[in-house]
Amino acid sequence: MARQTLKVGLAGLGAVGLEVARRIEAGIPGLALTAVAVRDVAKAKRNLPEAGKRIAIVPVETLAQSCDVVVECLPPEMFRTVAVSVIEAGKIFMPLSVGQLIENWDVVERAKQTGARILVPTGALLGLDAVRAAAEGTIRSVTMITRKPPNGLDGAPYLVERGISLADLKAPLKVFDGTAREGARGFPTNVNVAAALSLAGIGPDKTRLEIWADPALTRNTHRIEVDADTARFSMTIEGIPSANPRTGRIVPLSTIAALRGLVAELKVGT
């Protein structure tokens, strides 16, 4: 029996969302971009020719009504609006603002009642499968060290609240050392990878996170160290920033890979 085409909705058409949209529009068997929710309708129509025609432009709260899966690519403050609407509709929710999932854990509990599913793409995180596998046993510790160019951290609430300026930085500066939960709260647009890592492993309160601003870097660098009863491993990834320096070019591709895995006859990895 032929597999039914999965109708995809995109909440947001920024640097990540637009790339996801264009790749689906270029043609991926089993996926169809059905609707988008945007703040700037005119810009959406310029960037995505079928927007407002074959691809409906709808309010973010109603995306789930016409879609099977909704991908969230929004500013953190809009996360809950789209999350609740998708969960209540019992559809598939794919959040990219993963740190906000930690802050709104009630939507996960609610998904158990509505039949919705929440699928977090790997994003810029290397080795998520290995962490998930290790979590089936016992993980003793998980540490993530993130290093970014200063402009990739500008405006983070944690820095603003403490009056930490990264202007004219001449040497690497450690700006945060704490838990993944605290990091997700203080850097909501910067360390979604740490939130995903914590959810795959030992949780946001046990996962340790360091964040460095490094003026010598041009790439977002993440190093993960895991000590478990089945293996000890470390991983490093250097991601090329997208048009939005807070996120990497690999994020939309990871989202496409996750969507493709929902409809492909062969899926490699968990």
Tens-digit pLDDT profile for residues 243-260 = 777 777 888 999 999 999
* Mean predicted confidence (pLDDT) in 222-228: 95
Sequence-distant (≥ 6) Cβ neighbours of residue 213 within 8 angstroms: 147, 148, 149, 150, 153, 166, 169, 172, 173, 175
Q: Which residue has the tokens 């959406």?
A: 44
What CA–CA distance (Å, rounded) separates 38 from 57?
7
Q: What is the pTM of this model?
A: 0.90
- Residue of 192 and 225 predicted with greater confidence: 225
pLDDT digits 0-9 by tens, 79-120: 999 999 999 999 999 999 999 999 999 999 999 999 999 999
User: In the predicted model, what is the mean pLDDT of residues 173-200?
Assistant: 92
As a whole number, mean pLDDT of residues 33-51 equals: 96
Q: Give tens-digit pLDDT for 120-150.
A: 988 767 678 889 999 999 999 999 999 999 9
pLDDT of residue 173: 96
Active-site annotation, residues: 222
Going by the DSSP 8-state scheme, the letter that residue 188 receives in this structure is: T
User: Which stretches of the chain are DSSP H helices?
Assistant: 15-27, 41-47, 63-66, 79-88, 98-103, 106-114, 128-135, 157-162, 180-186, 192-200, 250-263
SS3 content of the chain, % helix, strand, coil (to 5): 40, 25, 35
Question: Side chain identity at 213, as an amino acid letter?
Answer: A
41 falls in which pLDDT band (50, 70, 90)?
Answer: very high
Spatial distance between the Cα atoms of 72 and 91, rounded to a whole number of angstroms: 13
Tell me the two tokens of residue 240. 């090329």
Q: Give the pLDDT of residue 36.
A: 98
C-alpha 53: how far from chain center: 28
pLDDT surpasses 90 at 46: yes
Higher pLDDT, 145 or 152: 145
DSSP assignment letter at 62: G
What percent of the chain has pLDDT above 70?
98
pLDDT value of position 191: 82
How confident is the model at residue 270, as a pLDDT?
A: 63
Tokens at 9, concatenated: 């909705």
Residue 49 gets which letter from DSSP?
A: T
CA distance 160 to 112: 37
Helix (H, G, I), strand (E, B) or coil at 180: helix
Question: What DSSP designation does 162 have?
Answer: H
